[in-house]
Amino acid sequence: MLRHHHARRRVTALLTALTLGLGATACGNDTDDGAEPSAERTAANGAVFNDADVDFATAMIPHHAQAIEMVTLTDARTLDPAVKQLADTIRDAQAPEVETMVDWLTAWGEEIPPTSLDHSNAGHDMDDMGDDMGDDMGDDTGGMADDVPGMMTAEDMQALATASDAEFQDLWLRMMVEHHEGAIAMAKRERAEGTFPDAVSLAESIETSQQAEIGQLEALIGS
């Protein structure tokens, strides 16, 4: 329990530093492919959840963390005002969602997944983030790019961090579209297979909000 407490404090502190320093459908039914849902478990606090809920939170935490890092990279760039506003909206929405999912995993007695935010320039100037981004992603989530839908690779993140000013905005928009599409895929699976009501509700919110944001992102490409 102490380990989980420290893990939550670690993620919360990193999210707070980034945010402040940088300016329900039915569940528990058969899955879409006809497979039976995983068995339900009950946490010490009485919460009822299943493996799909654990998988959703475990994958979405680093996925959201990477989106926050992508937004952080925009802070040193000159962007169209609409792009900057959308980037800030993404950060403001996803940072508290990470904290919520960390709380769930802690209550369920599950491991808190490592994220690139664990290394995000602790003790470094934010202006240096681009230089370290690729290494940070490789350290903690290098394998997740293959397993989690929409996750960028270390090479993708390094390319974004080092893109020229002329290339950065469109590259960021295109990468965020792909990133959001991955989140929507995970949200749909949680809605179909999950049991924990709050997780299913969050999945529905993610699907709705990020689908709308994809429309905004695509409209801004080439602007």
Could you tell me the domains of the chain? 2-19+48-220 (1.20.1260.10)
Backbone angles phi, psi at 138, to 5 degrees: -65, -35
Query: For residues 20 and 212, what is the distance between their CA atoms, to the nearest angstrom?
Result: 26
Tell me the average pLDDT across 24-29: 38
pTM of the model: 0.77
Q: So what's the pLDDT on residue 87?
A: 98
Q: So what's the pLDDT on residue 20?
A: 38
DSSP states of 115-158: -GGGTTTTTS-GGGHHHHHHHHHHHHHTTHHHHSTTPPPHHHHH
Residue 154 vs residues 130, 140, 175, 179, 218: alpha-carbon distances, Å: 12, 10, 13, 14, 24
User: How confident is the model over 91-137, as pLDDT tens digits?
Assistant: 999 999 999 999 999 999 999 999 877 644 333 343 343 444 444 44
Mean pLDDT over the full length of the chain: 81
Between helices 51-72 and 2-21, what is the axis angle to 10°? 30
Q: So what's the pLDDT on residue 151?
A: 97
pLDDT for 176 beyond 60: yes
Q: Which residue is it, tokens 């006809």?
A: 34
Q: So what's the pLDDT on residue 8?
A: 53
- Which has the closest alpha carbon to 175: 74, 103, 60, 78? 74
